Amino acid sequence: MADFIQYIECTHGEWKKAVHREIEAADCILLYIAPKADKFPVIKRPEAALPYFEQYYDAPFKNLSTGVGLLHEIAYIDRLGKIENTVAICREHESKYIWELIGKNSWQGISVFTRTVDGIRATSSRLLAPDRQLARLQGAAGIVAFTDADLTISRSRFARLLRRAVKAALGRHHTQPRALRQGWQSMVGVSPTPRPLPPDYQLKIISHTDVENLLHIPNGNITEMAAEQATSRLNRRAARKGCPTCGAGLSNLFFYINGLGNDEPDQTIWAKCQNCMAYLMVENWRLLEV
Ligand SMILES: [Zn+2]
């Protein structure tokens, strides 16, 4: 088996760049999805006391399904336009969870609600930003499940289904964003000059945070603001509280201003929480959800 596997050696600080490079070069990506703990958490609607649209955004978030590293990789596959060339692999008894997560969330992993006789209800628990990445596998070439027995025989049902899914992935012409013609290098690191970046591939100046460390980049033309500069505009209480939506610390917030460049000193400072995706703004020394 070792003859068929090429391991990529890289430092801890470089693995995200290496993953970008390999995803771009690959014709087909196989992604093994497994829970971080022993099993996936149960997907359930918010508790009976909090079932409706009005209370949904106050409901607690669901625990993360799997390691944040793997969930980041799904974001990279998406950014590099390779979801259609991806086949996800999971254990049979865990596939139900993945299908449910994908089925209950729209393409962007946005919360979904359904109208019932009692009112508008959420279809699942509130998902943190990394878990929403799993929902992006909706566009994958296949999700193939295996059992322990499948691994002991060469002509298993799993092998047949996997072969079929890989063939489908290889046959798909991925819809690579035009901005990606510059290569994966434009999707990583910092840059003092504007570059087209996901999710909308409009020009953005991200010059303080490596792009590969951001799960959610705001739409439109934006310019990152240094965290120290932005947090100096918060009072001590607001700084201690962090994200007013999920309670994540300030290090989870991506601060920016609209437009390219920093010509107007009085511009509104915005923030995008990388943990819960909330849009925030700095006003009167506080962070407010918008
Ligand atoms: Zn948050």
- Distance of CA 10 from the midpoint of ligand 1 (Å): 31
- pLDDT score for 136: 80
- Distance of CA 224 from the midpoint of ligand 1 (Å): 18
- pLDDT score for 48: 44
Query: How open is the CA angle 80-70-225, to the nearest 5 degrees?
Result: 65
Domain assignments of the chain as residue spans, ordered by start: 2-178, 189-289
The pTM of this model reads: 0.79
- Distance of CA 282 from the midpoint of ligand 1 (Å): 14
- pLDDT score for 108: 47
- pLDDT score for 46: 46
- Distance of CA 268 from the midpoint of ligand 1 (Å): 19
- Distance of CA 114 from the midpoint of ligand 1 (Å): 24
Q: pLDDT of 151-179, one tens digit each?
A: 888 788 899 999 999 999 998 775 666 66
287 and 234 Cβ atoms separated by less than 8 Å: yes
* CA nearest neighbour of 222 among 242, 201, 243, 249: 201
80 and 175 Cβ atoms separated by less than 8 Å: no
- Distance of CA 280 from the midpoint of ligand 1 (Å): 9
42 and 12 Cβ atoms separated by less than 8 Å: no
Judge if the upstream peptide bond of residue 199 is cis by omega within 30 degrees of 0.
yes
Q: Which residue has the tokens 């999707």?
A: 187
Per-residue b/e over 150-172, b at no fewer than 16 CB within 10 Å? beeeeeeebeebbeebbebbeeb
CA 231/CA 288 separation, integer angstroms = 13
Assigned token pair, 100: 């449910």
Give Cα 229 distance to the centre of its chain.
26
CA 142/CA 147 separation, integer angstroms = 17
Give Cα 162 distance to the centre of its chain.
25
252 and 262 Cβ atoms separated by less than 8 Å: no
Query: How open is the CA angle 153-93-34, to the nearest 5 degrees?
Result: 90
Which stretches of the chain score pLDDT less than 70? 1, 36-69, 103-118, 121-131, 174-180, 263-265
- pLDDT score for 49: 40
Dmax (CA) of the chain: 67
- Distance of CA 277 from the midpoint of ligand 1 (Å): 6
